[in-house]
Amino acid sequence: MDRAALTSLLAEWGQPAYRARQAIEAQRSGADGWGEVSTLPAALRARLEESLPFWALTPDARVESRDGTVKWGLRGVDGAVVEAVLIAHAEGRRTVCVSSQVGCALGCKFCATGAMGPGRNLTASEIVDQVVLAGREAESQGARLTNVVFMGMGEPMQNLDAVLDACGTINHPEGIGISARRIAISTVGWVPGIATLAEHPLPVRLAISLHAADDATRTSLMPINTRYPIASLLAACRRYCDTTGRRVFIEYLLLDGVNDSTADARRLARLLRDGRFHVNLIEYNATGGAYTGSSYGRREVFMRALAELGLEASVRRSRGADVAAACGQLARSRT
Ligand code: SAH
Ligand code: SF4
């Protein structure tokens, strides 16, 4: 549940502010309905029962990958279905990948969510519920939820108010208490959203899905590039860095024969080697489209070419692909 929404409802009713904390605590530790929040007075529980769904999203399906990744299909009160994914790392760390929209209007050619077309925005409560659910799952695995990434279904910057409200609850010590540095918003490159985020007080991380180093290639993969071409996108990123003092994470999906040549690597390095960016090279996850991921050998050559021009990159391994829970594979039809 969203802390700000609940707090303002409780304030309207003349209830003390700590009631919101009690409700969120109960949801985090296993309660599944207002009736189970024993710290609240019975009359208040009854009133809440009539006014606010305890869960804005409820699990509809759950699958577990061979690598321990868990994916849920989650249903809203209107029947809309989105997906959330919990990824297990070494040393007890856990990352939840959350959705911000039901589908996506931006139509990137390599993405299963893009193929669904546009869908409605999620509310802040629906976003927070994904994180609460994942936190409960992590605890059942003897671990702790440490990171939140907006890399599920949808474009977070087209639903930025709700995303930032949700981040408020996720970050708040009386909400979920995850440090803002461990929350990342990934965007297709929605320039006005980047400017808004730069001015926002919460220091969440910004990740940009760049995926190409020249406009022709990027436009062929991502139609948004005709509206915000690479130069305008990177200018917005630089302003963000200068305003916030934080680096920007660049996501680069390696596609065989499309964007993975040594010349591409050199172009990318020239675009990004001013110390403001960190590059994550991403393995392509099959979505039934026309693309193939680059080979291991090609990726090594690409990384070396970046390093020779002074740009360090990390590789983000694919997780959960056997249950279609990996980046770009999330879509209603697959749950
Ligand atoms: N709309 C946002 C966030 C959701 S997509 C964005 O585009 O950034 C999260 C990440 O998954 C993005 O970096 C996206 O480019 C990447 N992605 C999409 N399809 C993919 C695929 N088939 N394989 C690997 N990554 C993919
Ligand atoms: Fe939408 Fe992101 Fe998929 Fe592009 S990659 S279609 S912006 S969800």
Q: Which two tokens stand for residue 64?
A: 């577990």
Q: Which two tokens stand for residue 132?
A: 């609460």
Is residue 241 annotated as part of the catalytic site, yes or no? Answer: no
Question: Could you tell me which residues come within 8 angstroms of residue 70 by beta carbon, excluding any fewer than 6 positions away?
Answer: 62, 63, 64, 85, 86, 134, 137, 325
The tens digit of pLDDT for each residue in 33-47 reads: 999 999 999 999 999
pLDDT in tens, the chain (335 residues): 999 999 999 999 999 989 999 999 999 999 999 999 999 999 999 999 999 999 999 999 999 988 889 999 999 999 999 999 999 987 789 999 999 999 999 999 999 888 889 999 999 999 999 999 999 999 999 999 999 999 999 999 999 999 999 999 999 999 999 999 999 999 999 999 999 999 999 999 999 999 999 999 999 999 999 999 999 999 999 999 999 999 999 999 999 999 999 999 999 999 998 889 999 999 998 888 889 999 999 999 999 999 999 998 999 877 776 766 666 676 755 43
Give residue 297 CA to ligand 2 midpoint distance, Å.
27
Single-letter code of the amino acid located at 315 = V
Give the pLDDT score at 290. Answer: 87
Give residue 307 CA to ligand 2 midpoint distance, Å.
28
Single-letter code of the amino acid located at 145 = L
Nearest CA to ligand 1 atom 10: 151
Contact 120, 159 (CB under 8 A): no
Is residue 49 annotated as part of the catalytic site, yes or no? Answer: no
| Cα 268 → chain centroid | 24
Q: Domains of the chain, with CATH numbers?
A: 1-54 (1.10.150), 65-323 (3.20.20.70)
Give the pLDDT score at 335. Answer: 37
